[in-house]
Amino acid sequence: MKNELKNQLRQQDAKALAQGYSPAIRAMDIASIVTFVGLESALVWRLWSGAHTGPWLVLCAVLLGYLAADFVSGVVHWMGDTWGSTEMPVLGKAFIRPFREHHVDEKAITRHDFAETNGNNCLVSIPVAILAVVLPHSSPGWVFVSTFLGAMIFWVMATNQFHKWSHMDEPPALIGFLQRVHLILPPAHHQIHHTAPYNKYYCITVGWMNKPLAMIGFFPAMERLITWATGLIPRKDDIGTEAALELFEATASAEPPVVQAAKELLEATTAEEPKPVSSARPS
């Protein structure tokens, strides 16, 4: 089935997609990075001088923020890959286009500079950054929430940089070490997503959430729900109508791996159960 779908893919031209990065979008990227850095700096200053800030509180918030960022990266990546069109006003050029370009030309991201790589993530993080800065720091609970939000969007901002490194042929030595110990997104792990038809392993901060989400069939379930509610076909703009319809029908009929495993375990247990011995005496 995978080979048949791969032959049906009708993706857009990589050069045309790359040309969609206009001067206006670049200016927006630069402004977003400057704003994001300013807000995060303001949050660090508040935490540094806060009476309720403690090392263990900050450490826990940063680690939980890392996991949350991995999940958020998966949801945003899935949305950009799966829904909408590159022709949509604003969203199409600024957000959806980079996802579609990346599927056609995986190495394009390695040629992007810092602003083009990270501007989008900074832009979408600004509202959360504002919230993190303005929250009261009147108790350890509020400080934890503020720190968690700030840490989460910091890792969200870093996600595309991690993603870019995972596609580099020779990343810096320290980055290669972090990839090998799976503290940031490893190339081999991410390559699973880049296997046609590109419908799994969307989490790209570190990738820790990919396996659990795949086991429960999270993204296929979300696609069925959205299609039921709106009639839209997932990935239609990315891989073409024919392949998108065939893929949707195949995933709609498939059970999540965790359900399949549970059924196999139940069947094995049932088969091994001994038959009851009759207590009646022979005549």
- Residue 17 predicted with pLDDT over 90: no
Whether residue 3 is contained in a domain is answered as no
Query: Where in the sequence is the domain holding 94, given as residue range(s)?
Result: 14-215
Model confidence at 257, pLDDT cuts 50, 70, 90, reads confident
pLDDT exceeds cutoff 50 at 13? no
Angle at 99 between CA 98 and CA 104, to 5 degrees: 95
The pLDDT score that the predictor gives to residue 25 is 86
Instruction: Tell me which of 33 and 236 has the higher pLDDT.
Output: 33
> What is the DSSP annotation of the chain?
-HHHHHHH--PPPHHHHHTT--HHHHHHHHHHHHHHHHHHHHHHHHHHT-TT--HHHHHHHHHHHHHHHHHHHHHHHHHHHHSS-TTSTTHIIIIIHHHHHHHH-GGGGGG--HHHHHHHHHHHHHHHHHHHHHS--SSHHHHHHHHHHHHHHHHHHHHHHHHHHHT-SS--HHHHHHHHTTSS--HHHHHTTTSTT--S----SS-TTHHHHHHTTHHHHHHHHHHHHH-PPTTHHHH-HHHHHHHHHHHHHPPPHHHHHHHHHHHHHHHHSPPPPP-PPP-
User: What pLDDT does residue 30 have?
Assistant: 95
**How high is the pLDDT of residue 49?**
82
In a domain, 2, yes or no: no
Mean pLDDT, rounded, of the chain = 85
Question: Does a structural domain hold residue 221?
Answer: no
Domain assignment present for 234? no
Range with lowest mean pLDDT among 199-203, 216-220, 240-244 = 240-244
More confident residue, 133 or 244: 133
pLDDT, tens digit, for every residue of 179-189? 999 999 999 99
Residue 79 lies in a domain: yes
Among residues of the chain, what percentage have pLDDT more than 90?
A: 53
Residue 167 domain flag: yes
Could you tell me if residue 274 is inside a domain? Answer: no
Mean pLDDT in residue range 265-278: 67
How many domains does the chain divide into?
A: 1
Let me know if residue 276 belongs to a domain. no
